[in-house]
Amino acid sequence: MQFIKLLLISTILVSCNNETNLEPLTIYTSRQPQLIEPLLEEYKEKTGIEVRLLSGKAPQLMERILVEGDKTQADIFMTVDAGVLWQAGEKGIFESVDSLILKRNIPQHLRDPSGKWFGLSKRARTIIYSADSVSSADLSSYEDLAYPLWNNKLCLRTSTKVYSRSLMASMIDSMGYEKTKMIVRGWVNNLATEVFSSDTQVLKAVSAGQCGVTIVNTYYLARLADDPAYSNLRLHWANQENRGTHVNISGAGVTRFSKNKAEAIKLLEWLSSADAQETYAGANKEFPVMPGIKVGKPLESWGPFKEDLISVEKLGSLQKDAVLLAQEVGYK
């Protein structure tokens, strides 16, 4: 198998304590390194622990860990989307962790039931529209976007991306397979153009008037918030009258091959703490998993919202159903 070229993005070096030789930790991550480096620098200052990042795409990183086996340097595998974390758990990459701190800091629905992996930030996926052509009064739920009102007005990201699959998985869990298939078929019928490969491309299409409404992760909108070219984009929290807005996670778990499991657990516990959660959410423009943590701009301007409390573990276990459904209705 051909592996992507993995680059050691960042090595955070500290001098060893005079009395203790502190073992370094290595994180294999599909997250962009610049999004988590500030946290690791802070952790270094607090603990003196050296942390190394090995960056790449999630499928290749998982395969690399399995091929390396007990020779791997990976103490922690960190990635995005509960579907990917679930896959890693199914492949036997994670060690189950029983931590009272992680259980206290991270709500039950945002972590694996057996402690294989834990959500570290929340990623809301909701409706974004153009104020030039759409009224918020006409918007309600993901399901309503299948109505004829939105014919030739809807843009979507491709179903081949895990974010789209996880949203469909949450709908399958809530409404059942057949009803979800009917809704997604309605989305396909309402498409104004071919599906897009990224959320950013979809937002640009909505802003430019190519379509009027879409569904994306909110942090993509947050990254465009200061650009006047996209001032016509608005957010609508989906499904507030029933199950709530779909929420996914970024997260991590301790690998079963780690030579330093105790320190790896301590790092995860710290990442779930109040101080780290505020930094994590602020840097990534995501939502903290720990309740009660203050969020920055522009997230605070969007106001509170009701979130879907589905166990995110189901977003992984229903991935295959979501893939099949998309194929059946022609959602490319």
pLDDT for 300 equals 93
pLDDT for 11 equals 38
Band (21; pLDDT cuts 50, 70, 90): low
Q: Which residue has the tokens 């998993």?
A: 289
Q: Is the model's pLDDT at 310 over the cut of 90?
A: yes
For residue 81, give both structure tokens.
Answer: 């989307």
* Mean pLDDT across 42-61: 96
Specify the range with the lowest mean pLDDT, choosing from 25-39, 52-66, 230-244: 25-39
Of residues 228 and 18, which shows the higher confidence score?
228
pLDDT for 283 equals 80
pLDDT digits (tens, 9 = 90+) for 178-229: 999 999 999 999 999 999 999 999 999 999 999 999 999 999 999 999 999 9
* Mean pLDDT across 312-317: 96
Rg (CA), the chain: 20
Report the share of the chain in percent with pLDDT over 90: 88
For the chain, give every residue range classified as CATH 3.40.190.10: 7-122+248-294, 123-246+311-329
pLDDT for 282 equals 79
* Mean pLDDT across 71-85: 97
pLDDT for 280 equals 79
pLDDT digits (tens, 9 = 90+) for 129-162: 999 999 999 999 999 999 999 999 999 999 999 9
* Mean pLDDT across 68-84: 97
pLDDT for 7 equals 37
pLDDT for 284 equals 84
Q: Is the model's pLDDT at 13 over the cut of 90?
A: no
Q: Is the model's pLDDT at 9 over the cut of 90?
A: no
Closest C-alpha among 180, 150, 151, 147 to residue 166: 180
Q: What is the CATH number of domain 123-246+311-329?
A: 3.40.190.10
For residue 152, give both structure tokens.
Answer: 């030739």
Report the share of the chain in percent with pLDDT over 70: 94
pLDDT for 71 equals 97
Which CATH superfamily includes the segment(s) 7-122+248-294?
A: Periplasmic binding protein-like II (3.40.190.10)
What is the Cα–Cα distance from 219 to 228, expressed in whole angstroms? Answer: 17
Q: Which residues 6+ apart lie within 8 Å of 38 measured at CB?
A: 279, 283
pLDDT for 28 equals 98
- Per-residue buried b or exposed e for 289-320, using 16+ beta carbons within 10 Å of the residue's own CB: bbeebebeebbeebeebebbebbbbbbbebbe
Q: Is the model's pLDDT at 165 over the cut of 90?
A: yes
pLDDT digits (tens, 9 = 90+) for 283-297: 889 999 999 998 988
By the 8 A CB rule, do 191 and 250 touch? Answer: no
Q: Is the model's pLDDT at 6 over the cut of 80?
A: no
What is the pLDDT of the chain when averaged over all its residues?
93
pLDDT for 10 equals 39
Burial label for 161, CB within 10 Å (0-12, 13-18, 19+), is: middle
